[in-house]
Structure 1
Amino acid sequence: MSETIHILALITISESRAAELEKMVQVCAGHSLKEKACQRYEISRDAEKKGRFTVSEIWASQAGFEEHLASDHFAALASYAKEHDAVLEVIRQQPLHPAS
């Protein structure tokens, strides 16, 4: 039995690039939600700091998560973020609540 993968990603980019990154994250989310292994892919804009976003993800398996990382839509987002000096922090979480 494979274990679900829970990810929280924090992406911070300059305020001047925030609107463009937001569009790209939304496009990535739309494609990601269609992936077989994707159980959750929710993006949020920081209400207090322009240019900061969170992505909360749940993947059915490690293999599914790795397929996502290899996808064209994720590669496009990662390339944009790198090209524009975005700071990315990825936290692999272990839920403590059994219903998670």
Structure 2
Amino acid sequence: MSETIHILALISISEDKAAQLEKAVQVCAGHSLKEKACQRYEISRDAEKKGRFTVCEIWASKEGFEAHLASEHFGHLAGFAKEHGAELEVIRQQPLHPAS
């Protein structure tokens, strides 16, 4: 049995590009949620700092997560972020308790 992959991604971009990044992340989320291995893909906008977003993801397997990283929709998001100087921190998490 494959181990689920839990990801927390923190994305920061300049305030003047925040609305464009938000749209790009929402498009990626819509496609990602249709992926077979995707169990959760939730995006949030920071309530206090414009231009900062979080993405919480759960993938059924390492292979499913790797397929996501190779997908066209993720490639578009990554390309936009890189082109516009976004800062990205990806944290692979290990839950300490079972999901409720």
TM-score by length of 1: 0.98
Amino acid in structure 1 at the alignment position of 2:33? L
Give the Cα separation in 2 of the matches to 1:22 and 1:98. Answer: 30
Name the counterpart of 1:94: 94
Total equivalences in the alignment? 100
Residues 1-100 of structure 1 correspond to what in structure 2 (within 5 A)? 1-99=1-99
Give the Cα separation in 2 of the matches to 1:80 and 1:28. Answer: 11
Give the Cα separation in 1 of the matches to 2:98 and 2:16. Answer: 41
* Structure 2, gaps ≥5 residues long: none
Q: State percent identity of aligned pairs.
A: 84
Give the Cα separation in 2 of the matches to 1:18 and 1:96. Answer: 33
* Structure 1, gaps ≥5 residues long: none
CA RMSD in angstroms, aligned pairs only: 0.7
TM-score by length of 2: 0.98
Which aligned segments of 4 or more residues in structure 1 are displaced greater than 3 angstroms?
A: none
